[in-house]
């Protein structure tokens, strides 16, 4: 099993490579939910996630067994960490990732000198392929979570929590395979038995809370924790050391990612934001006394999803106004319509003429347009002004 002594030894191994990451106070969450809430910005860690802690400890433990190189199967963060650690120790590295793994994580592995093999529909298939490569070529296999050296390495984060937060009362952190949660829980509760440790999973793949374990690919913003079954090592450790487990839905994860960008100025991936999602949505409560710490486990966000997150947030906040109306199909009609919106302070985002599938007069065209507005109240004023200007059939939609 894994002990506090193992975790302390792992810290010495990773010293100089794994960062002692900072804490950020969250006035927004503290005001909304009460209590003293801080964020552990592991998103600023080397390779962008906590995984470097376990990877360094694992490769150091291998010694000459890594002479022919190492392999790993991962959705991205463990892969990057193993690739970086392999480069640090000067050994070859083959990484296997599921098809569709975030491009940013795949390219980072290659930048660290690893050979990356993409394929398979799930993390399980990537792990199986990595095991097979290790057996065929005499390489050492590095499991993403079900390994004592990995768990001990991840637990070094818990040592920092205890040292930096003497009044620590509650830790909220992600649970995928369970390596981070198990290691941190052992480190924290071995020293502060009263402190509560709460694990958070993504609702679409939440085996630790009795949730679904989909047969095919898992589509979630929290791809980094989309692990379909508890580990043989980590499962019992979670049962023993973690006090509570909850699952959050995709909307809560999306809201948490945007809140962290907007209010904390931190770029955090979906898997890293689930703790904030659980707290802000009311699934878990902060400690009444002492400090509650939310671990932001990673910052490797796929850039392709960011525009969608922002659009969703702006719409939900009432800062996007979508309208549909009819105008005369004559020169200058569109300019006059848009001029009314401009006069009311709405900024055009996009506009489209629609002539097909709409009941129109032969000399009419329909207009579908999106505008930026300041608030729901501003949107109401804009719509009223444009209707009063002669566009009485204007239909509008905006975030509630």
Q: What is the pLDDT of residues 59-72, one digit of tens each?
A: 999 999 999 999 99
Q: Summarize pLDDT for 93-130 with one digit per residue, the tens.
A: 999 998 877 787 888 899 999 999 988 777 788 889 99
Pairwise CA distance, residues 132 & 124, whole Å? 12
Looking at the annotation, which residues are catalytic?
51, 297
pLDDT score at 400 = 43
Point out the least confidently predicted range of 228-237, 251-260, 309-318, 367-376. Answer: 309-318
pLDDT score at 106 = 87
Residue 186 CB coordination number (10 Å): 26
The answer to whether the CB of 33 falls within 8 A of the CB of 286 is yes
- What whole-number percentage of the chain has pLDDT above 90? 78
Q: Summarize pLDDT for 72-93 with one digit per residue, the tens.
A: 998 789 999 999 999 999 999 9
Point out the least confidently predicted range of 152-166, 233-247, 363-377. Answer: 363-377
Determine whether 380 is exposed, middle or buried from the number of CB atoms within 10 Å of its CB (0-12, 13-18, 19+).
Answer: middle
Please give the mean pLDDT across all residues of the chain. Answer: 93
Pairwise CA distance, residues 227 & 179, whole Å? 11
Determine the Cα angle at 63 with ends 57 and 66, to 5°.
95
230 vs 121, more confident:
230
Indicate the pTM of the whole model: 0.88
pLDDT of residue 53 exceeding 50, the answer is: yes
Domains and CATH numbers, the chain: 4-49+149-309 (3.40.50.1100), 55-144 (3.40.50.1100), 317-398 (3.30.70.260)
DSSP string, 334-400: HHHHHHHHHHTTPEEEEEEEE-SSS---TTEEEEEEEEE-S-HHHHHHHHHHHHHTT-TT-EEEE--
pLDDT of residue 330 exceeding 50, the answer is: yes
User: How far, in whole angstroms, is CA 210 from its chain's centroid?
Assistant: 21
Q: What is the DSSP letter of 262?
A: I
Distances (CA, A) of 208 to 94, 178, 216, 316, 343: 30, 9, 18, 31, 55
Q: Summarize pLDDT for 263-285 with one digit per residue, the tens.
A: 999 999 999 999 999 999 999 99
């Amino acid at each position: 099993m894994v002990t506090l002594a193992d975790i302390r030894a792992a810290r010495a191994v990773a010293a100089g490579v794994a960062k002692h990451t900072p804490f950020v106070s969250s006035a927004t969450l503290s005001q909304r939910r009460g209590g003293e809430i801080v964020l552990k910005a592991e998103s600023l860690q080397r390779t962008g996630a906590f995984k470097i802690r376990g990877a360094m400890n694992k490769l150091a433990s291998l010694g000459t067994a890594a002479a022919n190189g190492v392999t790993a199967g991962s959705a991205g963060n463990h892969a990057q960490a193993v690739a970086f650690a392999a480069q640090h120790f000067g050994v070859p590295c083959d990484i296997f990732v599921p098809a569709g793994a975030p491009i940013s994580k795949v390219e980072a592995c290659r930048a660290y000198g690893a050979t990356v093999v993409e394929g398979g529909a799930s993390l399980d298939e990537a792990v199986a392929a990595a095991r097979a490569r290790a057996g065929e070529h005499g390489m050492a296999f590095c499991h993403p979570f079900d390994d004592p050296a990995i768990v001990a390495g991840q637990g070094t984060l818990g040592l920092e929590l205890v040292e930096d937060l003497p009044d620590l009362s509650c830790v909220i952190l992600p649970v995928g395979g369970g390596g981070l949660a198990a290691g941190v829980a052992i480190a924290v509760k071995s020293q502060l038995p009263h402190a509560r440790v709460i694990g958070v999973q993504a609702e679409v793949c939440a085996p630790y809370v009795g949730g679904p374990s989909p047969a095919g690919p898992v589509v979630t913003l929290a791809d980094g924790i989309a692990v379909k079954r508890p580990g043989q090592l980590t499962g019992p450790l979670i049962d023993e050391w973690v006090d509570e487990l909850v699952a959050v839905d995709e909307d809560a994860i999306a809201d948490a990612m945007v809140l962290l960008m907007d209010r904390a100025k931190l770029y955090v991936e979906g898997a890293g934001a689930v703790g904030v999602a659980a707290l802000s949505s009311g699934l878990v409560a902060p400690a009444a006394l002492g400090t509650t710490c939310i671990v932001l486990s990673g910052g490797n966000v796929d850039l392709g999803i960011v525009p969608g997150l922002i659009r969703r947030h702006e719409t939900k906040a009432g800062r996007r106004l979508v309208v549909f109306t009819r105008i005369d199909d004559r020169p200058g009609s569109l300019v006059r319509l848009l001029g009314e919106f401009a006069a009311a302070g709405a900024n055009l985002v996009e506009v489209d003429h629609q002539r097909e599938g709409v009941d129109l007069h032969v000399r009419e065209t329909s207009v579908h347009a999106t505008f930026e507005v300041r608030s729901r109240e501003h949107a109401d004023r804009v719509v009223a002004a444009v209707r009063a200007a002669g566009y009485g059939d204007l239909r509008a939609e905006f975030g509630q």
